[in-house]
Structure 1
Amino acid sequence: MEIRVTIDSLNPNEVIERKQNVKFDTFDIKQYKKMFEQLVEGNHVIGSFDQPHWKLPCNIADHPMIVSFDIEVYHKFNTALKAYSIVRLLSGRTPIAIYNELALIKKAILESNGFTSSDKLESLLELQSQTYKYQGYRMSIDIKRFLSFYKVTNYKEIIDICSNHQTYKGTARELPAFEDIMIFDDIVNDYFQNHPTEETLEYFPIMLWWLLTNTLPMRPTEFLLLEKDCLQFNENYASPYRITIPRIKNKSNSPGFELRMDSIEIDEKAYIFIKNAIQLLETIDSESRYLFPVELLWAYRKVKIPKKNERINRRDFDLLKKHFYEKVVEGIYGKYDLERIKSGDTRHFAIINMALQGFNMLSIARMAGHDVIKSQFSYYSHAEHFAQSYVYRLAQKRVENTITSDMSSGIFGWKRYVYDKGKSIDINTLENIVGRVKHGYCTEQKDVFPETCIEHCEFCSNYVFKPSLNEQTGAITWLSDSSRSLEGKIRESIELMKDLSMNLSKIYRQGNDDLLKSTSRNLMAYMDMKAMIDSKVMGADAFGQEQ
């Protein structure tokens, strides 16, 4: 196992480091204790070396992670695990990562009789893989790393067993049903727009999470780490509006964990919205520098239990979201069967949004805080499904006498539905509109026609599908053919966008970037047109038959 060791310092900002391969016997106990004290001085550990429990301060969890070295039967491993933890901290691993590693290693030690029973270890890894495939893979990796540091008698046999369980391959993230996402989107927009602030303030972090992280790809903890002074405005810049986002992916090899701060461009609308949110949350009495102070929770809890953390952390937020589903989504809107959205899902929605809107992979990687471009390509596996589901959802809404705004601001999150009554035919107004056209009516006013005509009636919002009785079969076939044609164009557009993005990640060409953006605009148009046509097919019976 490797750690980085500083061997010289050129200036306060530059140091010379070398990698050192470390095993348990590289240092003696006195040296490990000295390293431990250095970590204590740097506030990376709280406690003493000889204690069975250490506290590791953690910015991500917003509370110390308690790691225990309390194996009684195979107590010789306790000292080895302490040394291992020190080396891992010096290697720049986060407290949460070390906590999880120790939990899996300790479980393996106990289940395998101190690594003396290879059969029991094999059974444990099989069970872990069957129950949760990634955890079996993760356990085998952690055991191998630990045994490369602290060798047991049969370590080669144990490593061979672990190597046989390193077959896990990451798959595309499972996301909730798109229909359920869209329903939740409707509820969030309706609840916070149509209920008084004093009623909704308790759940204000839910609204800001939904609207912000569907636009800017942020991890839940990054969102909760936003500070009150996260916004910047500089009228001298071409893009004057920016937001500072903390990134929790630690690439440093220094001990502990330090956040990387990214300054991201946003538009004026987003800037104003977030600024207003900050001003509203400042009504909460708190001295916290964070946007979501823990006092926000105290204000709405019947039982006041003082919390040591300064801000709402991931555990608090997940509980708040659970209450929102129970009291608002189910209690007010009566939606009891929705698949619940996980806090981290919105980051993936944002990336899919950006991909469908024609952002190149370099831009998405920077916005998402990814260190490698290839992280983006898996999102295209969801893009076609989301596009199809989005079209279906919009078509349903049109059948329910609603009409949506265009796709320019994304699928959901910042997206707002603009409801309007569907077009209906009033015989008394026929003299003022264009009137009968192929398989229906044009409801455009005569005094502005044909300047507003788009030629293809089936794609026009002013077109009402109302075929006569003897036209019904042929009319629906006509619309269905147009729908299938558009479905093919949607699929082709997404494939082209994927290919363009892959090429742009290898070498940037302005022409490819321009084509990516224009293909995205075409995609949005195809989706809106298909939704319009499909709504007419779905609602053919509802429009009635001309006698």
Structure 2
Amino acid sequence: MENNHSLDFSSTSTHYNESLRGTLQDRINSLKESSVKLTAEASNNRWNIYDEYFSQTYFVDFGFDSFSSKKFDTDQFILLLKSWFILLLENDISFHHLTRKIRRAKDALILSKGFNLETIDEFELNYFSKDLKPSSLQYKASLLLEFLDFCEDLIVPEEYLELILRYYQKQNSAAIRKLPSSRDVLKFSLIVEVYFSNEDIDNEYLDYYPIYLWWNLTNIIPIRISEFCNLKFDCLISSKEGYLLTLPRSKNKKNRKINYDKVLISNKIANSIKLYQQKIYSVKPTKTLLQTSSTTRNAKPEVFNYRNFKSLLDKFYREIVCEKYGFKLLESSSEPHTQSPYNIFRKIRPNDTRHFAFLNLMLQGYHPSEIARLGGHNSVYSQMAYHNHLEYWIDSDLIKLLTNQKRHTGDLSNEFFKEIIFKNAMSTTTEVSEVVKIPLEIGYCTDPLQDCPVDEHYLCKHWRITFDDYQKHYDKLQTILVNRESVLKLCIDKLLALHKTGLIHHKNNVYDEKNSQFNYQLVESSKEVKDALYQLAKLKERFEMYEKSGAQA
């Protein structure tokens, strides 16, 4: 994409602008008729709105009378600011909040002289003042990105978007959501899989079933826990494409209206929901899909809310994870503990799965615009906050979640974790049954044809190594491990760079979600990450037993 040194309004859709202008007065009239105390005309630049609750009037001036520039189309920006104001008002944003958003967006337009590259340094100095806290800088960047996302056909120079995104990501490390390790996530995932594999559906099973639905749905579709709890009983729709799930979207904290989206889901999830609907309706009809536990008191038993779910999840950890399967939760424990596969260091919070879903969508090669739609974001740029988690969460255990292998286990036991979570890819004993051992520089090959599917022997399933060879070549093997970690890091950086390109240029037809070539790059890059992750995981598994053997010697 070529850099634009000033906003080129000739590329802006005339139909889009006329549509805004033509419907603006109608929307103003509609708001007035709905008892909003708005004093405004589409042709005037000074509006005010009266807040009856606080007995206060808020003013906003859309004019640019004190500012002029040959490269600055003030009429265009005034129209966009007014249309954005109306949209925010229609979405029930608080009057104080929306007037502040408009003023900040207008300030940015003036300070940047219409996003002119010649004034980018001056814009940064004045708009993103060094005296502001990281949270304030992030807020100013966030609302500006939201405004630019609203301006559908406006092409803003890449340098400005890079700058704004950099400040959008400015936040204290304490503000970044802490996620549990993938090993703790994996343990929980396997427990859910085993516990709900029981075909005998009793009252306890039914009471806990919202946990199963939450885990399988919100790990795939990044919905908020409040949206999950507000699913209607009749949320499932059968269509020609398959099953559609009607999601209640809470797109803004200030928005008290619930909007609905329809998302295509798998037959597996749909059948799980239908099973629950059948079983729960036989107990008692409910407004929401989910029902509170039969042993829990609820002021509104026909409604399921966040507190009900949090209480249920805590109970599941306490009675199922810990009491039934013998795990030890160390999250709030200060007492010393021994290393054990049964230790859990951090419980999964209700909204953690939304983060997992965003990361998994990125790792599957979804376009940023599609991720934003699935996540119910106002702005495509909102997902930038989740980029901070990608490297934090990815490690060799994640491959066990990504492969999603089905395991047929009747119960959890010591052997279960020895064989499933800590299974090693090789044995310290002599493999007498092997037909061939072709010597290599390190270890040996067990494939008589040596039809290598990979470039490096140590990444092949036919590669073996003895304990003596492991000790002899220890330093070189550790270097190999570090190199594979570097390869994974490079693959992650490449995927993030592509994702960022899709964010910045999502309005450009070269990088939008309809461009098959760019989407192919996203999918291929995500595949490279998963391949590198898988190779690193297998390599660590091969070395893990010998590490333990050396520690015990």
User: Shorter-normalised TM-score: what interval?
Assistant: 0.5 to 0.7
Q: 2:366 aligns with which of 356, 359, 364?
A: 359
1:59 counterpart residue number: none
1:308 is aligned with what amino acid? K
Q: What is the CA distance between 1:368 and its match in structure 2? A: 0.6
How big is each residue's C-alpha offset from its partner over 1:388-440, in whole Å with a ceiling of 9 and x where there is no partner? xx32x36xxxxxxxx9475489xxxxxxx994954436646434455654533
In the alignment, structure 1 residue 22 sits paired with structure 2 residue 64: no
**2:310 alignment counterpart:** 318
Q: Distance in 1 between matches of 2:527 and 2:169?
A: 38
Q: How far does residue 93 in structure 1 lie from its aligned partner after superposition?
A: 7.2
SS at match of 1:262: strand
Q: Mapping of 1:271-350 within 5 angstroms?
A: 271-283=270-282, 285-293=283-291, 296-297=292-293, 299-301=294-296, 305=297, 307-331=299-323, 332-337=326-331, 338-350=345-357
Structure 2: segments with no counterpart, 5+ residues: 1-26, 34-39, 58-87, 98-131, 141-167, 332-344, 406-416
Offset of 1:379 from its aligned partner?
1.4
Q: Is structure 2 residue 536 aligned with structure 1 residue 534?
A: no
User: Structure 2 vs 1, CA of residues 287 and 513 (structure 1 numbering), >3 Å: closer, same or farther?
Assistant: same
Aligned partner of residue 307 in structure 1, secondary structure: coil
Contact 1:248 1:260 in 2 (8 A): yes
Deviation at 1:194, TM superposition (A): 5.9
441 and 430 in structure 1: CA distance in 2 versus 1, 3 angstrom threshold = farther
Q: Give the TM-score normalised by structure 1.
A: 0.59
Tell me, which stretches of 5 or more residues in structure 1 are unaligned? 11-16, 25-31, 33-79, 85-89, 101-128, 139-166, 395-402, 410-416
SS at 2:196's partner residue? helix
What residue is the counterpart of 1:174 in the other structure?
177
Matches within 5 A, 1:20-99: 21-23=48-50, 81=54
Aligned to 2:216: 211
Shift of the alpha carbon at 1:536? Answer: 2.7
| AA of the residue aligned to 1:465 | I
Read off the aligned partner of 2:260 and give its amino acid letter.
Answer: M
Q: Tell me what 2:85 maps to.
A: none
In 1, Cα distance between equivalents of 2:548 and 2:170: 49
Please say which of residues 214-223 and 319-328 is displaced more in the overlay. Answer: 319-328
Does 1:233 find its partner at 2:230? no
2:169 and 2:384 in contact (8 A); partners too: no
Query: What is the rounded CA distance, in whole Å, between the counterparts of 2:327 and 2:311 in structure 1?
Result: 19
Change (3 A) 1:427 1:197: same
Cα distance in 1 for residues equivalent to 2:285 and 2:205? 22
Letter in 1 for 2:537: A
Number of residues of Structure 1 aligned to a counterpart in Structure 2: 387
Task: Determine the structure 1 residue equivalent to 2:506.
Answer: 505
Seen in structure 2, the aligned counterparts of structure 1 residues 408 and 323 have a Cα distance that, compared at 3 Å, is closer
Report the 3-state secondary structure (helix = DSSP H, G, I; strand = E; otherwise coil) of the residue aligned with 1:521: helix
Q: Is the 8 A contact 1:217 1:368 kept in 2?
A: yes
- Give 1:529 shift: 0.5
Q: Percent identity?
A: 24
Describe the shift of the 1:430–1:504 C-alpha distance in structure 2 as closer, same or farther (beyond 3 A). farther
Q: What is the Cα-based RMSD across aligned positions, in Å?
A: 4.5
Alignment of 1:409-428 (within 5 A): 419=420, 422=424, 423-424=426-427, 427=430
Indicate conservation of the 8 Å contact 2:428/2:466, yes or no: no
CA distance in 2, matches of 1:306, 1:512: 50
Q: Once the two structures are superposed, what CA deviation does each residue of 1:223-265 show, in whole Å capped at 9, x if it has no partner? A: 1121233223333xxx43322211122699xxx9432111112
Q: Which moved more, 1:168-177 or 1:216-225?
A: 168-177
CA contact (8 A) 1:501 1:516 kept: no
Residue deviations 1:361-400 (CA, integer Å, cap 9, x gap): 100011011121110122112112222xx32x36xxxxxx
**1:190 maps to 2:194:** yes
Q: Measured at CA, do residues 427 and 194 of structure 1 come closer, stay the same or move farther in structure 2, by a change above 3 Å?
A: farther
Query: Does 2:463 align with 1:459?
Result: no
The equivalent of 2:387 in structure 1 is 380
CA displacement at 1:515 relative to structure 2: 0.6
Per the alignment, in what secondary structure is the counterpart of residue 546 of structure 2? coil
Give the structure-2-normalised TM-score.
Answer: 0.58
1:123-164: per-residue Cα shift (whole Å, max 9, x none)? xxxxxx99xx89xx99xxxxxxxxxxxxxxxxxxxxxxxxxx
Paired with 2:403 and 2:170, the residues of 1 have a C-alpha distance of: 34
The residue matched to 2:473 in structure 1 has which SS? helix
**Contact 2:481/2:536 (<8 A) preserved:** no
Task: Assess if the C-alpha contact under 8 Å between 1:192 and 1:207 holds in 2.
Answer: yes
CA distance in structure 1 between the partners assigned to 2:505 and 2:351 by the alignment: 27
Partner of 1:262: 261
Is the deviation greater in 209-218 or in 476-485? 476-485
- Change beyond 3 A, Cα 1:8–1:306: closer
In 2: Cα distance, 1:322 partner to 1:455 partner: 47
What is the CA distance between 1:498 and its match in structure 2? 3.0
